[in-house]
């Protein structure tokens, strides 16, 4: 979790870079609040952003607070109950949680400190996790292996490790996480490479360290996930904020 505060007349206009988690943005502002623009769709207020939402722009005008919560896809599957439907999607929190969304936002807005907000959020998420069936242990194991290897893992090897056929792993992972194992591994690898680029490492060395065949391969992958070149991605404001808010994000070391 990370908390952000906008001071008037602050204005935020930032494009989100794909990363291997489902994002919950809880708008705690009293004014204009947060706005989201993705693939011709617009939302305001608190929202759930699924894996691979495409070209997503987040805007906000202060003053106000925002609580950002990142959930591993295998956790989000239980918290939101519909991972496949959330993939590539931008959805209002009320559309997912119904009246519980308003109750949660009201409690968090009334909290006296960020520490209290984090505690309340943990309680809310914990209750939802406890009341819903988790993903298959084999799917959760495959996801953890992807993170530990930073995306450099063979899907066939994962199937052997969990004792499933490749077809079964592909089917169960896709239905519970929302993307294929191969795409998930690519996303984890890209996330690691993106943060190396943002830290100032040369594209050639990033390609080698991240397991890409060559610099051209890295360029194609960055283009696929962001529409940018590696040079442009390195200066993306989202990544600069990312390393401040999430200094030890899982999957990046």
**Which domain CATH number covers 42?**
2.60.120
Task: Return the number of other C-beta atoms located less than 10 Å from residue 165's C-beta.
Answer: 11
Q: For residue range 99-156, list pLDDT tens digits in order.
A: 999 999 999 999 999 999 999 999 999 999 998 888 999 999 999 999 999 999 998 8
**Claim to verify: residue 146 and residue 113 sit in the same structural domain:** no
Same domain, 117 and 23: yes
Instruction: Provide the 3-class DSSP secondary structure of residue 89.
Output: coil
Pick from 130, 159, 182: which residue ends a domain?
130
Between helix 166-177 and helix 137-148 the angle, nearest 10°, is 90
Q: What is the pLDDT at residue 30?
A: 75
Contact 52, 179 (CB under 8 A): yes
- Could you tell me if residue 250 is inside a domain? no
Q: How far apart are CA 169 and CA 145, in angstroms?
A: 14
**Cα distance between residue 76 and residue 83, in whole Å:** 7
Residue 126: the pLDDT is: 94
Which residue among 70, 102, 130 closes a domain? 130
199 exposed, middle or buried (CB, 10 Å; 0-12, 13-18, 19+)?
exposed
Q: How far apart are the first and last CA of the chain?
A: 17
pLDDT digits (tens, 9 = 90+) for 180-202: 999 999 999 999 999 999 999 99
Q: What is the pLDDT of residue 31?
A: 66
- 81 and 122 part of one domain: yes
Same domain, 68 and 145: no
- Interval 209-247: pLDDT, tens: 999 999 999 999 999 999 999 999 999 888 887 777 766
* Structural domain includes residue 122: yes
pLDDT confidence of residue 56:
85
User: Percent of the chain, pLDDT > 90?
Assistant: 64
> CB–CB of 56/115 below 8 Å?
no
**pLDDT score of 246:** 67
| Helical axes 181-198 vs 137-148, angle rounded to 10° | 30
Number of residues written out for the chain: 253
Bridge partners, 56 (sequence order): 16, 38
HSE-up of residue 70 (Cα within 13 Å, Cβ side): 16
Question: Which residue in 96, 99, 74 sits closest to 25, CA to CA?
Answer: 96
Residue 250 pLDDT: 46
In this structure, the answer to whether residues 124 and 142 fall within a common structural domain is no
Looking at residue 151, what DSSP letter applies?
T
Boundary (domain end) residue, out of 88, 105, 130: 130
105 and 23 share one domain: yes
Number of C-beta neighbours around residue 235 at 10 A: 11
For residue 227, what is the DSSP state?
S
In this structure, the number of other CB atoms found within 10 A of the CB of residue 110 comes to 11
- Count up the domains in the chain and report the number: 2
Domain assignment of residue 239, given as a range: 137-245
Strand pairing of 64-71 and 41-44?
Answer: unpaired
| Nearest-angstrom CA–CA distance, 116 and 93 | 21
Answer yes or no: do 220 and 141 share one domain: yes
Same domain, 203 and 143: yes
Give the orientation angle of helix 215-226 with respect to helix 181-198, to 10 degrees: 100
The reported pTM is 0.89
CATH number at residue 179: 1.10.10.60
Mapped onto helix, strand or coil, the DSSP state of residue 82 is: coil
């Amino acid at each position: 979790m990370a908390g952000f505060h906008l001071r008037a007349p602050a204005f935020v206009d930032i494009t989100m870079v794909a990363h291997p988690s489902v994002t919950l943005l809880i708008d705690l502002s009293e004014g204009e609040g947060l706005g989201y623009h993705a693939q011709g769709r617009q939302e305001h207020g608190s929202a759930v952003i699924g894996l691979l939402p495409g070209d997503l722009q987040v805007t906000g005008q202060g003053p106000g607070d925002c609580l950002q919560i990142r959930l591993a896809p295998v956790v989000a599957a239980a918290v939101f109950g519909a991972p496949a439907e959330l993939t590539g999607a931008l959805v209002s929190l009320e559309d997912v949680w119904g009246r519980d969304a308003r109750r949660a936002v009201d409690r968090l807005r009334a909290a006296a400190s960020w520490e209290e907000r984090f505690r309340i959020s943990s309680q809310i998420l914990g209750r939802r996790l406890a009341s819903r069936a988790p993903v298959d242990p084999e799917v959760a194991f495959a996801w953890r292996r992807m993170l530990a290897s930073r995306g450099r893992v063979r899907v066939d090897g994962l199937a052997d490790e969990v004792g499933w056929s490749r077809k079964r792993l592909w089917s169960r992972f896709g239905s519970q996480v929302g993307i294929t194992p191969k795409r998930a591994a690519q996303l984890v690898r890209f996330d690691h490479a993106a943060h190396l680029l943002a830290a100032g490492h040369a594209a050639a060395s990033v390609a080698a360290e991240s397991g890409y065949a060559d610099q051209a391969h890295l360029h194609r992958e960055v283009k696929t996930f962001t529409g940018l070149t590696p040079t442009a991605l390195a200066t993306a404001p989202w990544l600069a904020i990312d390393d401040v808010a999430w200094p030890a994000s899982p999957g990046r070391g």
